């Protein structure tokens, strides 16, 4: 009887400690002003934090993560991409009709400086036209498990039928980061892009992801901004063999997306360090 009582006492004490631990972990979660956010383990998909993670949002240029990974899977690095008049006419591009680049180089320009015309040119080169490539993007999203996402263009320009969620963007980011070529592209801080046509023409690209310079262990991946989407960012970082991905959507301003993603990554790494194998996956902070 005494042994039985001791077992019950130990069980109750363990449960109480677990509840206290959970409450402390929840209290330590950062105060995020972004409309939606999530932090996941890149390797396992375990959710460490979420806020409105399934709310529909405009993904802005985070869309280009899907454009890039599809191009890497469906083309070769040396494939030549010639910029069409349609691609050159897109808002926010440094490209002109007839410019020609290797696929590897135009993808670098697209991801590093978020060149919208480059995204359109890539989609046309791989899919034939915008509608066909968007269909490929949507099929890939379903394959990845991003089932609350729908694309209508390659670059993320606002459209009522072009949307995603923080959770889905995290899934797409994690999938893409398993591709070594993708990882190299989004981890590049600065690079000269050399064109085939005009011969000798170059564009110097500085990555729009400021965390590559300011956050310890940052490995990528993609910024986004439109007046409709506001500040967006998917950011990955690795510490002690663990890689996490944070996604923030509809941040108040350009800089807040970086500071809040950094705070979320810090929180995620703290959670990873505190979780035991038995508790892993059981607790995730959910912002109310």
pLDDT in tens, 152-179: 999 999 999 999 999 999 999 999 999 9
Q: Is residue 81 part of a domain?
A: yes
Number of domains making up the chain: 1
Beta bridge partners of 249: 36
Q: Which residues are annotated as a binding site for substrate?
A: 222
- pLDDT for 7: 52
Q: What is the pLDDT of residues 121-138, one digit of tens each?
A: 999 999 999 999 999 999
Calculated CA dihedral for residues 59, 60, 64, 70, nearest 10 degrees = 40
Whether 149 has a pLDDT exceeding 50, the answer reads yes
Q: Of the candidates 13, 39, 43, which has an alpha carbon nearest to the alpha carbon of residue 285?
A: 39
Q: Give the total residue count for the chain.
A: 288
Where in the sequence numbering do the catalytic residues fall?
A: 61, 64, 114
* Opening angle at CA 176, ends 117 and 165, nearest 5: 80
> Per-residue confidence at 284, pLDDT binned at 50, 70, 90?
low
- pLDDT for 274: 75
Q: Is residue 25 part of a domain?
A: no
Q: Is residue 22 part of a domain?
A: no
Q: Is residue 14 part of a domain?
A: no
Output the CA–CA distances (angstroms, integers) from residue 97 to 91, 118, 188, in the order listed: 14, 11, 27
187 backbone dihedrals φ, ψ, rounded to 5°: -95, 0
Whether 4 has a pLDDT exceeding 80, the answer reads no
* Opening angle at CA 260, ends 256 and 264, nearest 5: 170
Q: Which residue has the higher pLDDT, 252 or 283?
A: 252
Q: What is the pLDDT of residues 195-243, one digit of tens each?
A: 999 999 999 999 999 999 999 999 999 999 999 999 999 999 999 999 9
Beta strand 100-102 with 80-82: parallel, antiparallel or unpaired? antiparallel
The percentage of residues in the chain with a pLDDT greater than 70, rounded to a whole number, is 86
Whether 49 has a pLDDT exceeding 50, the answer reads yes
Domain that holds residue 207: 31-286
Q: Which residue has the higher pLDDT, 57 or 10?
A: 57
pTM metric for this prediction: 0.88
Domain of 182, CATH number, reads 3.40.710.10
Q: Which residues are annotated as a binding site?
A: 222
Q: Is residue 184 part of a domain?
A: yes
127 backbone dihedrals φ, ψ, rounded to 5°: -105, -15
Q: Is residue 178 part of a domain?
A: yes
Q: Is residue 197 part of a domain?
A: yes
């Amino acid at each position: 009887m005494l042994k039985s009582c001791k077992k019950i006492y130990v069980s109750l004490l363990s449960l109480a400690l677990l509840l206290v631990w959970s409450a402390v972990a929840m209290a330590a979660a950062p105060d995020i002003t972004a409309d939606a956010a999530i932090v996941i383990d890149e390797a396992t998909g375990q959710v460490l934090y979420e806020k409105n993670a399934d709310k529909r949002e405009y993904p802005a240029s985070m869309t280009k993560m899907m454009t890039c990974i599809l191009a890497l899977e469906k083309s070769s690095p040396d494939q030549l991409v010639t910029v069409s008049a349609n691609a050159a006419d897109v808002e926010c591009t440094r490209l002109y009709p007839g410019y020609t680049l290797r696929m590897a180089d135009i993808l670098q320009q697209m991801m590093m400086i978020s060149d919208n015309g480059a995204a359109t040119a890539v989609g046309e080169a791989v899919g034939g036209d915008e509608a066909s490539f968007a269909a490929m993007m949507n099929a890939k999203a379903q394959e990845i498990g991003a089932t609350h996402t729908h694309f209508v263009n390659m670059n993320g320009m606002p459209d009522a039928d072009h949307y995603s969620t923080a959770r889905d963007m995290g899934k797409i980011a994690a999938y893409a980061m398993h591709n070594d070529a993708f990882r190299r592209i989004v981890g590049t801080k600065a690079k000269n892009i050399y064109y085939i046509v005009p011969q000798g023409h170059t564009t110097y690209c500085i990555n729009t992801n400021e965390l590559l310079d300011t956050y310890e262990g940052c490995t990528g991946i993609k910024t986004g901004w439109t007046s409709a989407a506001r500040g967006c960012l998917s950011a990955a970082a690795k510490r002690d063999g663990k890689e996490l991905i944070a996604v923030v959507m509809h941040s108040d301003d350009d800089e807040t997306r970086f500071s809040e993603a950094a705070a979320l990554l810090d929180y995620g790494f703290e959670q990873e360090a505190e979780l035991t194998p038995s508790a892993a996956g059981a607790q995730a902070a959910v912002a109310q």
